[in-house]
Protein backbone atom coordinates (compact mmCIF):
# COMPACT_ATOMS: atom_id res chain seq x y z
CA UNK A 1 0.00 0.00 0.00
CA UNK A 2 3.01 2.27 0.48
CA UNK A 3 3.47 2.42 -3.29
CA UNK A 4 0.15 4.25 -3.75
CA UNK A 5 1.19 6.95 -1.29
CA UNK A 6 4.18 7.90 -3.42
CA UNK A 7 3.50 11.16 -5.26
CA UNK A 8 5.10 9.92 -8.46
CA UNK A 9 2.98 6.79 -8.54
CA UNK A 10 -0.19 8.78 -7.94
CA UNK A 11 0.74 11.14 -10.74
CA UNK A 12 1.30 8.23 -13.12
CA UNK A 13 -2.03 6.68 -12.16
CA UNK A 14 -4.03 9.90 -12.57
CA UNK A 15 -2.20 10.81 -15.77
CA UNK A 16 -2.98 7.39 -17.21
CA UNK A 17 -6.59 7.60 -16.05
CA UNK A 18 -6.98 11.07 -17.57
CA UNK A 19 -5.41 9.90 -20.83
CA UNK A 20 -7.74 6.92 -20.98
CA UNK A 21 -10.83 9.07 -20.35
CA UNK A 22 -9.63 11.57 -22.98
CA UNK A 23 -9.09 8.70 -25.43
CA UNK A 24 -12.59 7.39 -24.80
CA UNK A 25 -14.07 10.84 -25.35
CA UNK A 26 -11.90 11.44 -28.45
CA UNK A 27 -10.36 14.53 -26.84
CA UNK A 28 -6.95 14.79 -28.49
CA UNK A 29 -5.85 17.90 -26.56
CA UNK A 30 -6.60 16.34 -23.19
CA UNK A 31 -4.88 13.14 -24.22
CA UNK A 32 -1.72 15.08 -25.17
CA UNK A 33 -1.87 17.06 -21.93
CA UNK A 34 -2.16 13.84 -19.95
CA UNK A 35 0.80 12.39 -21.84
CA UNK A 36 2.84 15.54 -21.16
CA UNK A 37 2.05 15.35 -17.42
CA UNK A 38 3.17 11.71 -17.36
CA UNK A 39 6.44 12.50 -19.15
CA UNK A 40 7.12 15.49 -16.90
CA UNK A 41 6.49 13.33 -13.83
CA UNK A 42 8.92 10.70 -15.12
CA UNK A 43 11.62 13.33 -15.67
CA UNK A 44 11.15 14.85 -12.21
CA UNK A 45 11.26 11.40 -10.59
CA UNK A 46 14.41 10.52 -12.51
CA UNK A 47 16.09 13.75 -11.36
CA UNK A 48 15.04 13.12 -7.76
CA UNK A 49 16.37 9.54 -7.79
CA UNK A 50 19.72 10.73 -9.16
CA UNK A 51 19.91 13.39 -6.48
CA UNK A 52 19.08 10.89 -3.73
CA UNK A 53 21.74 8.56 -5.11
CA UNK A 54 24.39 11.28 -4.93
CA UNK A 55 23.37 12.16 -1.37
CA UNK A 56 23.50 8.50 -0.30
CA UNK A 57 26.89 8.04 -1.95
CA UNK A 58 28.27 11.10 -0.12
CA UNK A 59 26.91 9.82 3.21
CA UNK A 60 28.64 6.49 2.63
CA UNK A 61 31.90 8.27 1.74
CA UNK A 62 31.65 10.38 4.90
CA UNK A 63 31.04 7.30 7.05
CA UNK A 64 34.09 5.62 5.50
CA UNK A 65 36.20 8.73 6.17
CA UNK A 66 35.14 8.73 9.82
CA UNK A 67 35.89 5.03 10.09
CA UNK A 68 39.37 5.51 8.62
CA UNK A 69 40.07 8.37 11.04
CA UNK A 70 38.89 6.27 13.97
CA UNK A 71 41.11 3.35 12.92
CA UNK A 72 44.11 5.65 12.52
CA UNK A 73 43.58 7.16 15.99
CA UNK A 74 43.16 3.74 17.59
CA UNK A 75 46.40 2.52 15.94
CA UNK A 76 48.22 5.47 17.48
CA UNK A 77 46.81 4.55 20.86
CA UNK A 78 44.50 7.55 21.10
CA UNK A 79 40.90 7.38 22.23
CA UNK A 80 37.99 7.87 19.87
CA UNK A 81 35.86 10.14 22.06
CA UNK A 82 36.09 12.98 19.56
CA UNK A 83 34.05 10.96 17.04
CA UNK A 84 31.17 10.49 19.46
CA UNK A 85 30.95 14.28 19.91
CA UNK A 86 30.56 14.98 16.16
Q: Give pLDDT tens digits for 67-76.
A: 998 888 888 8
pLDDT at 59 over 90: yes
pLDDT at 1: 42
Give yes or no for residue 63 having a pLDDT over 50: yes
Q: What is the domain count for the chain?
A: 1
**Structure confidence at residue 43 (pLDDT):** 86
The domain of 24 spans: 2-85
DSSP 77: T
Per-residue confidence at 65, pLDDT binned at 50, 70, 90?
A: very high
Query: For 1-86, where are the alpha helices, taking DSSP H only?
Result: 2-5, 7-24, 28-75, 81-85
Contacts of 9 (CB under 8 A, 6+ apart): 3
Q: State residue 33's pLDDT score.
A: 80
Amino acid sequence: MKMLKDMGTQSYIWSGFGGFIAWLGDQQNLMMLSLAVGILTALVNMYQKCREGRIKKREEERAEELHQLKVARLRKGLDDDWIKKT
